[in-house]
């Protein structure tokens, strides 16, 4: 993106944020790539190494072998990273300190918004979380560091200590429904916000990608910060095709 267009866009995004009263920040994998977690679809992303069709909820339930493959993929990807919040997460947390943030709606499972300082109750995790796993039979929860230690010690398929049930990560797999109460609240807030800001999402995963459409239908302004084009670019009031970790702190600085 040409520098003068970017500088102009930054100013306009800052002005919209200053005017706005209920801001939703909607994030995807792109907000965390600068923390060292690859996204799914960019070149070199997670789906260039693994076949998404294999990692479904139905497969996970079907066989011990499928569960072994799921856990191995997670061990070698999400559980192998030790990410810290990057300047984009910190800028979003700063919006909360400035009293601007209605909430963060995230497709991410990494917990980095909370780690950056956004209060737990203001983060809606549409696709669940990797911060814990739980037993599908008795519901017992296991903090992910415990599971990670078990995998590192040679356990291939974690089972529940209480009832030997299937232990599943707190993330939503393909083929699994989104948590209905989280989706309902995110939808309600998207329909009543006055500024919806997309950060690092390809906007191709549904139903999450419907939320900016609901916001637009309700008259909210739309800001998109993403490296690649999305299908809503033409409807954005401000479009910043740039790295979130560089652009967001600059937008917040311009507001201040």
Catalytic positions: 127
DSSP-assigned states of every residue in 13-57:
HHHHHHH-SSEEEEE-GGGTGGGT---SSSTTSGGGTS-GGGSBH
Q: Which stretch binds ligand NAD (CB under 6 A): 12-20, 35-43, 60-68, 152-160?
A: 35-43
Binder among 166, 213, 227, 255 for ligand NAD (CB under 6 A):
227
Q: Which of 130, 1, 18 is nearest to 77 (CA)?
A: 130
Is residue 41 part of the contact set for ligand NAD (CB under 6 A)? yes
Structure-derived torsion over alpha carbons of residues 72, 74, 77, 79, reported in degrees to the nearest 10: -110
Is residue 28 part of the contact set for ligand NAD (CB under 6 A)? yes
Q: Which stretch binds ligand NAD (CB under 6 A): 14-22, 68-76, 93-101, 197-205?
A: 197-205
Cβ within 8 Å of residue 248, ≥6 positions away: 87, 88, 91, 92, 199, 225
Cβ neighbours, 10 Å, residue 168: 20
Binder among 11, 15, 22, 40 for ligand NAD (CB under 6 A):
40
Choice between 6 and 228, CB closer to ligand NAD: 228
Q: How far is the CB of 98 from ligand NAD (least distance, A)?
A: 22
Is residue 244 part of the contact set for ligand NAD (CB under 6 A)? yes
Distance of CA 72 to the CA centre of its chain: 22
Residue 115 exposed, middle or buried by CB count within 10 Å (0-12, 13-18, 19+): middle
195-199/123-125 β-pairing:
unpaired
Choice between 51 and 154, CB closer to ligand NAD: 51
Is residue 9 part of the contact set for ligand NAD (CB under 6 A)? no
Is residue 79 part of the contact set for ligand NAD (CB under 6 A)? no
Choice between 45 and 117, CB closer to ligand NAD: 45
Choice between 91 and 109, CB closer to ligand NAD: 109
Q: How far is the CB of 178 from ligand NAD (least distance, A)?
A: 10
Q: Which of 3, 31, 78, 20 is nearest to 224 (CA)?
A: 31
Is residue 89 part of the contact set for ligand NAD (CB under 6 A)? no
Choice between 62 and 204, CB closer to ligand NAD: 204
Is residue 198 part of the contact set for ligand NAD (CB under 6 A)? no
- Separation of alpha carbons 189 and 234, rounded Å: 23
- Separation of alpha carbons 161 and 169, rounded Å: 15
Q: Which stretch binds ligand NAD (CB under 6 A): 30-38, 68-76, 93-101, 183-191?
A: 30-38
Task: Please report, as ranges, the residues that interact with ligand NAD according to CB under 6 A.
Answer: 28-30, 32-34, 37, 39-42, 45-46, 107-110, 127, 200-202, 204-205, 225-228, 243-245
């Amino acid at each position: 993106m040409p520098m003068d267009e970017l500088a102009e866009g930054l100013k306009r995004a800052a002005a919209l944020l200053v005017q706005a009263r209920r801001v939703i920040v909607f994030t995807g994998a792109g907000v965390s790539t600068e923390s060292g977690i690859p996204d799914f679809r960019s070149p070199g992303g997670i789906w260039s190494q693994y076949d998404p069709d294999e990692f479904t909820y139905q497969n996970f339930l079907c066989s011990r072998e499928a569960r072994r493959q799921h856990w191995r993929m997670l061990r070698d990807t999400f559980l192998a990273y030790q990410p810290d919040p990057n300047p984009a997460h910190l800028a979003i947390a700063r919006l909360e300190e400035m009293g601007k943030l209605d909430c963060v709606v995230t497709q991410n499972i990494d917990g980095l918004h909370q780690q950056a300082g956004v209060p737990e109750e203001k983060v809606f995790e549409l696709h669940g979380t990797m911060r814990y796993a739980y037993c599908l039979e008795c519901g017992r929860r296991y903090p992910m560091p415990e599971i990670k230690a078990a995998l590192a010690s040679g356990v291939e398929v974690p089972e529940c200590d209480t009832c030997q049930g299937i232990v599943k990560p707190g993330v939503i797999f393909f083929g699994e429904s989104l948590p209905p109460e989280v989706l309902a609240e995110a939808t309600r807030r998207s329909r009543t916000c006055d500024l919806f800001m997309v950060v690092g999402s390809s906007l191709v995963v549904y139903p999450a990608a419907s939320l900016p459409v609901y916001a637009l239908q309700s008259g909210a302004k739309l800001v998109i910060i993403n490296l690649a084009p999305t299908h809503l670019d033409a409807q954005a009031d401000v479009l910043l095709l740039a790295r979130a970790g560089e652009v967001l702190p600059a937008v917040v600085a311009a507001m201040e």
